[in-house]
Amino acid sequence: MSHRIAIVISRFNEKVTSGLLKGAQAELSERGAPVADADIFEVPGAFETPLVAKKLALSGKFDGVVCLGAVIKGETAHFEYISEAAAHGLMQVSLETGVPASFGILTTYTAEQAFARCADDSHNKGREAAAACVEALAALAKI
Ligand SMILES: Nc1c(NC[C@H](O)[C@H](O)[C@H](O)CO)[nH]c(=O)[nH]c1=O
Ligand SMILES: CC(=O)[C@@H](O)COP(=O)(O)O
């Protein structure tokens, strides 16, 4: 069954998130759910992903939302607050709307860790988030 999936992508750390996007798009195409450019929505940072994901989930136009971002620790506690807000916010979107909003937001301590998770290989977390969205839809369809 083909699903209509939207992607929400953060521009912050764009060199990393662009790799996540490529992984997610490849995974969704391989699973028969290719994403049109018009269904890719950019936000400034991970903190903004839940708001746009919820609007998409409530629109009735999409079966699932894949959310991509990269939060990389800096000098302050900002990393913790953004990471938790994005994780909690996206979980709330899924639970409140019934539309899976998968968590493809890297939360790494170093840039090296982030780049190791956005390359064109099996470690790509964009692929993982895309797969999780499709597989959550399959589970929901059985209920
Ligand atoms: N430092 C990172 C951010 N910061 C920006 C926030 O996500 C948000 O856009 C801002 O606080 C305004 O509301 N975002 C990331 O995605 N990754 C980071 O490493
Ligand atoms: C995670 C972030 O907010 C990133 O911009 C690092 O910021 P800071 O060095 O101010 O903690």
Q: What is the DSSP string of the chain?
A: ----EEEEEE-TTHHHHHHHHHHHHHHHHHTT----GGGEEEESSGGGHHHHHHHHHHHSS-SEEEEEEEEE--SSTHHHHHHHHHHHHHHHHHHHHSS-EEEEEEEESSHHHHHTTSSSSTT-HHHHHHHHHHHHHHHHHT-
Mutational test site, ligand 1, from 82, 88, 103, 105, max ligand atoms within 8 Å of CB: 82
Q: Is 76 annotated as a binding residue?
A: yes
- Report field, pTM of the whole predicted structure over 0.90: yes
Q: Given this model, what pLDDT does residue 74 score?
A: 98
Distance CA 106, CA 103 (A): 9
Rg (CA), the chain: 14
* pLDDT tens, position by position, 12-59: 999 999 999 999 999 999 999 999 999 999 999 999 999 999 999 999
| 78 among known catalytic residues | yes
Distance CA 123, CA 115 (A): 10
Q: Given this model, what pLDDT does residue 2 score?
A: 85
Contact 114, 106 (CB under 8 A): yes
Domain count, the chain: 1
Give the domain range for residue 102: 5-141
CATH of the domain at 116: 3.40.50.960
pLDDT tops 70 at residue 69: yes
Q: Is 103 annotated as a binding residue?
A: yes
Mutational test site, ligand 2, from 48, 72, 78, max ligand atoms within 8 Å of CB: 78
Q: Are strands 40-43 and 5-10 parallel, antiparallel or unpaired?
A: parallel
Give residue 74 CA to ligand 2 midpoint distance, Å.
4
Residues in contact with ligand 1 (CB, 6 Å cut-off):
10, 12-13, 44-48, 69-72, 78, 82
pLDDT tops 80 at residue 63: yes
